[in-house]
Structure 1
Amino acid sequence: MRVIEPNFEIMDKIKGEDILRKIELCGRVCYKSENSITSESARKFVKNIIKSGHESVLEHEKITVRIICDRGVTHEIVRHRIASYSQESTRYCNYSKDKFDGELTFIKPCFWDEDDENYRLWKEAMKQVEQTYMKLILCGASAQEARSVLPNSLKTEIVVTMNLREWRHFFRLRTSDKAHPQMREIAKPILNEFSRLIPVVFDDIE
C-alpha cells in the first residue's frame, strides 16, 4: 500500500504570447479590425474581450493536463461537460499485477495530519480495502468485479482537455472556498501554473 499526494503535468508546450496572438487574430475577425494588430496589441485585446464577456473567442485555444488525484475528485472534474477525458480504468487495471507493484495506491487526505486519529482510522480502512481487493483477485474475481470494494481515496490518473474558456469556468468553481478541499488542493496549483505560462487570460481568477 502506498499513500501519495496529488500532482499534475501540463501535456502541451505552452507559449503564452503565441496563444494571445492567435486569440487576438480570431477575435478581430468579429470586428474586422485585423489591421489594428501590432506586435504589442494582443495582451490589451484579450484583456478587453474578457472584461466585456466575449469569452467565446477563448475557445480557439485548449490545454491538456494529466492529473493524479483520488477518484472522488475526478467524479467532480468530469461534471465539466465541455471537455475531453481519458481516465485510468478500474475495470481493466488489475492492481495485483507487477506494473502496479502488486499494491493499491491512495491519495493522502489533505485535511488530516498524519498524527491525527482520523488519519489513522482512514489508513487502517485503506489497508483493509487493499487486503480485501487482493483476496478477491486470488479467489478468481476479475478486476472489474473486485473494483466494487475500491474507495474514493484510490489514486487515479485522468487526462483533461479543455478550451481556455472552460478552464476559466473550471477554476472559478474549483478554487473557491466552497470547493472540496482536495479539489482545491489540485486546482489551485494548476491555476497558478496556467497564470505563470499564459499572460492575461487567468489574471482575474484567484
Structure 2
Amino acid sequence: MKLIKQSFEFINQTDFSLVGIKKHIEKCARVSYKSEDKITDTSYEKFVNMLESRGHDRPLEFGTVHLKMLLPDFQTFIHSVLTIGMFNNIWIKHAYVGDVIYITTNYRYYLDIIKYFPNVKEYFTEEDNEYYPKRYTVHMILDRGVMDEFRTHVGLSHLAESTRYCNYSKDKFNNELTFIDPCWEIKTANERITPEGTHMSSDSLEFLTALNEAEDHYLSLLAKGWTPQQARSVLPLCIKSELISCGFEDAWENFFKRRDAPDAHPMAQEIAKPMHQKFIELTKMR
C-alpha cells in the first residue's frame, strides 16, 4: 500500500498541426488505461484512427483546432452551423481582429463540422497567437470522490483513469494500491502498518487499517479470477485516480468559482486552490 498527496500539472497543447493535435489526444486518452508506455513517435496515427473507427469520441475533444476566416466567410459558416442545429458555444469560441476571425474548437467538433461542410478544411491553420481563444488542459492526481465532483463540470471535457480496466496487481502498478493521503493529518510512512512500534491516533490507525484491508481484498479477488471491473467494487473513494480535464477559460473560471470556494470539500479545495493560482498566472501571460 502506498499513500501520496494530490497533485496537478498543466499540459496545454502547443503544436496545432494535425500531428500535434493527434499526439495531444493520444497523450490525454492513454491516461484512462494507464498505457502511456505505449506512446511512440508514430503511435498517434493508429491510436486516433482507432478512436474514430470505434466511435470513442470523448478523447477527440482534447485536441485543439485553430481556424482562420475573413468576416464574410465566418458569417456564412456560423449561419450554416446554426441552420442545421450544430452550434455549440461550449466547444467553439472566436475573436474578431478587424475583418479576420480567429476561431478555436476541438477536434471532435471539427470532424463533425467537416462532415457537413468539407470546405471548412480550407480554413484550418497551424498558427497560434494571442488572438485565438485559449483552451487549458490539466492532468490531476486526486482522490476518487473529489474526481467525481470535478467531473460534474460539463463545460469541461474529462478523461479519467479507469478502475474497470486497470489491474493494480500488475508490475506496472508495483503490485499494490495507491491511495490519496487526506489533507487532515494521517501519521504514517508509505509502508504497511506494523502492529507494534507505530505511534498514531486510534482514528488514523483505523483509517489506515481499512485501506490495508481494501487492498488485501482487492488483490485476493483478482487472484481468485475476478476481473478488475469486478474487484474494483471493494475500492474506497480515496483510491488514487488520474483525471485530465480540458476547456476554455470561462469553463475553468466556473470550475474555480465552485471548487476553490470556502465551502468546497477540503480535499477539492486542496488541489483546486493551487491550480487556480497557476491558472491565473497562465492567463496573465497571454
Same fold, judged at TM 0.5 (above): yes
1:95 aligns with 2:158: no
Paired position in structure 2 for 1:108: 181
* Percent of aligned pairs sharing the same letter: 38
Number of equivalences: 166
| 1:11-30 correspondence to structure 2 within 5 Å | 11-12=11-12, 26-27=94-95, 29=96
Separation of aligned partners in 2, 1:121 and 1:140: 29
Secondary structure of 1:167's counterpart equals helix
Instruction: Please say if residues 164 and 232 of structure 2, whose CA atoms lie closer than 8 Å, have aligned partners that are also in contact.
Output: yes
Query: Per-residue deviation at 1:117?
Result: 3.2
Q: Considering only aligned residues, what root-mean-square deviation do their CA atoms show, in Å?
A: 2.5
**Residues 25-44 of structure 1 deviation map (CA, whole Å, 9 limit, x = unaligned):** x54x3xxx749xxxxxxxxx
Matched position secondary structure for 1:118 = helix
Task: Identify which of 184, 189, 205 aligns with 2:274.
Answer: 189
Which consecutive unaligned segments of at least 5 residues does structure 2 have? 15-93, 100-130, 188-199
CA distance in 1, matches of 2:142, 2:231: 21
**Does 1:9 pair with 2:94?**
no
Structure 1 residue runs of 5 or longer lacking an equivalent are: 15-25, 36-57, 202-206
- Shift of the 76–132 alpha-carbon distance from structure 1 to 2, 3 Å rule, reads same
1:117 is matched by which residue type in structure 2? S
Residue 143 of structure 2 corresponds to which residue in structure 1? 70
Residue 138 of structure 1 is matched in structure 2 by 223
Report if the CA contact (8 A) 2:260-2:272 is conserved. Answer: yes
CA distance in 2, matches of 1:59, 1:169: 20
Residues 1:157 and 2:242 aligned together: yes
Kindly state the Cα deviation for residue 13 of structure 1 after the two structures are TM-superposed.
6.1
SS where residue 183 of structure 1 aligns? Answer: helix
Query: Which whole-Å CA distance do the structure 2 matches of 1:159 and 1:82 have between them?
Result: 14
Deviation string for 1:110-169 (max 9, x for gaps)? 123424432221111000000000110111101000000011000010111021001000
SS at match of 1:94: coil
Distance in 1 between the 2:226 and 2:258 partners? 39
Q: Which structure carries more relative contact order (alpha carbon 8 Å, separation 6+)?
A: 1
Partner-residue secondary structure (3-state), 1:124: helix
- Structure 1 pair 116/169, CA: closer, same or farther in 2 (3 Å)? farther
SS in structure 1 of the partner of residue 167 of structure 2: coil
1:81 corresponds to = 154
Do 2:222 and 2:231's aligned partners in 1 also have CA atoms closer than 8 Å? yes
Contact preservation (8 Å) 1:59, 1:163: no
Change (3 A) 1:7 1:181: same
- Alpha-carbon separation, structure 1, partners of 2:132 and 2:167: 38
Match of 1:60, SS state, is coil
CA distance in 1, matches of 2:214, 2:227: 16
Q: What are the superposed Cα offsets for residues 56-107 of structure 1, whole Å, 9 maximum, x if unpaired?
A: xx99321000000010011100000011111110010000000000000000
Equivalent-residue separation in structure 1 for 2:160 and 2:176 (angstroms): 19
Q: Any idea what SS the aligned residue of 2:158 has? A: strand
CA drift at 1:191: 0.7
Aligned pairs for 1:167-206 within 5 A = 167-199=252-284
